[in-house]
Amino acid sequence: MEFSLMSKECALPCEVTIDEDNGRYMIRKADSSGEVFNSPEELVQWVLTNWHSDEFVDKKQFERMINEIQAFFPL
pTM score: 0.89
Which residues are within 8 A (CB) of 51 and not within 5 positions of it... i.e. 6 or more apart?
Answer: 14, 62
Please state, in angstroms and rounded to a whole number, the distance separating the CA atoms of residues 54 and 62.
Answer: 9
pLDDT tens for 26-65 read 999 999 999 999 999 999 999 999 999 999 999 999 999 9
